[in-house]
């Protein structure tokens, strides 16, 4: 049976924010099939911080992010948003987060502009400038191009547009660098830095080196040991 041990390594680079929002994971246990992923897992995340979840394939990174997003319940334990259990404020909580998984969540039959319009309509945002969003993600020249003609990297850039169109406090990102080239990774890093500078919060998994400037980074390392 495999099990996961986790601990937090705090790498404080700077603190310039007011901690007015808080995510807390308290003593959660989770299994996949007959295999225990993690047990007794605790950590917290405050405004202006990034939590980087690391670990080998199968250590439970994606499962943990789904639990944090409210897409899956832990076997036991609880997740709190501003000291309230997600089970009691789920609707309110989902309005304050953006979930970006391995899948881009875009419609290949629509254009880039149309995909962003759909995202805006779902998030009920009213003050989003689509042209500026397209410029920010480097796809302005492809605004009216069907997404099925995009490369994998371009599709991932389009998926990142949800970080700009949905005015969310908490970003939950599962391997967000996937398919991005160096310029795309720099774009992602700049988006995260800007979000955190405005007291946003980010929890993300990654197999890549992550470089952020002037923000607090917390690392949660998941280790899987098979017996």
Tell me the per-residue pLDDT of 118-135, one tens digit each, with 9 for 90 and over.
999 988 677 899 999 999
Q: Per the domain annotation, does 65 fall within a domain?
A: yes
Position 225 confidence tier, pLDDT thresholds 50, 70, 90:
low
Q: Per the domain annotation, does 99 fall within a domain?
A: no
Of 7 and 215, which is predicted with more confidence?
215
Average per-residue pLDDT for the chain:
88
Position 8 confidence tier, pLDDT thresholds 50, 70, 90:
very low
Give the integer Cα–Cα distance in Å for 19 and 201: 10
The average pLDDT across 4-29 equals: 60
The average pLDDT across 92-113 equals: 95
Position 180 confidence tier, pLDDT thresholds 50, 70, 90:
very high
Name the DSSP letter for residue 199: T
Listed range (15-24, 113-122, 180-189, 197-206) with the worst mean pLDDT: 15-24
Q: Per the domain annotation, does 169 fall within a domain?
A: no
Q: Per the domain annotation, does 25 fall within a domain?
A: yes
Q: Per the domain annotation, does 139 fall within a domain?
A: no
Q: Per the domain annotation, does 133 fall within a domain?
A: no
Q: Per the domain annotation, does 62 fall within a domain?
A: yes
Task: State yes or no: pLDDT of 72 exceeds 60.
Answer: yes
Which residues, 6+ apart, have CB-to-CB distance to 79 below 8 Å?
23, 24, 25, 26, 28, 67, 68, 70, 85, 86
Which residues form the domain of 78?
Answer: 1-85+198-227
pLDDT for residue 18: 42
Give the integer Cα–Cα distance in Å for 191 and 200: 11
Give me the number of domains the chain comprises.
Answer: 1
Q: Per the domain annotation, does 209 fall within a domain?
A: yes
Highest mean pLDDT among 127-131, 159-163, 164-168: 159-163
Identify the CATH number of the domain in which residue 52 sits.
3.40.50
pLDDT for residue 62: 94
Q: Which two tokens stand for residue 143?
A: 């605004």
């Amino acid at each position: 049976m495999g099990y996961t041990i986790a601990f937090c390594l705090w790498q404080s680079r700077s603190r310039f924010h007011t901690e007015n929002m808080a995510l807390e994971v308290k003593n959660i246990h989770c299994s996949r099939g007959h295999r225990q992923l993690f047990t007794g897992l605790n950590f917290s995340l405050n405004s202006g911080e990034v939590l980087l979840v690391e670990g080998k394939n199968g250590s439970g990174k994606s499962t943990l992010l789904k639990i944090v997003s409210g897409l899956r319940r832990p076997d036991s334990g609880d997740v709190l948003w501003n000291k309230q259990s997600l089970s009691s404020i789920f609707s309110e909580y989902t309005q304050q987060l953006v979930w970006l998984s391995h899948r881009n969540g875009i419609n290949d039959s629509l254009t880039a502009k149309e995909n962003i319009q759909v995202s805006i309509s779902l998030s009920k945002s009213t003050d989003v400038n689509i042209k500026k969003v397209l410029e920010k993600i480097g796809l302005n020249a492809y605004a009216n191009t069907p997404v099925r003609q995009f490369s994998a990297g371009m599709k991932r850039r389009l998926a990142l547009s949800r970080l700009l169109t949905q005015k969310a406090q908490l970003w939950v990102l599962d391997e967000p660098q996937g398919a991005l080239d160096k310029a795309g990774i720099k774009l992602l890093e700049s988006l995260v830095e800007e979000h955190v500078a405005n007291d946003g919060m980010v929890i993300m998994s990654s197999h890549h080196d992550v470089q952020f400037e002037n923000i607090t980074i917390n690392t949660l390392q998941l280790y899987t040991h098979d017996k």
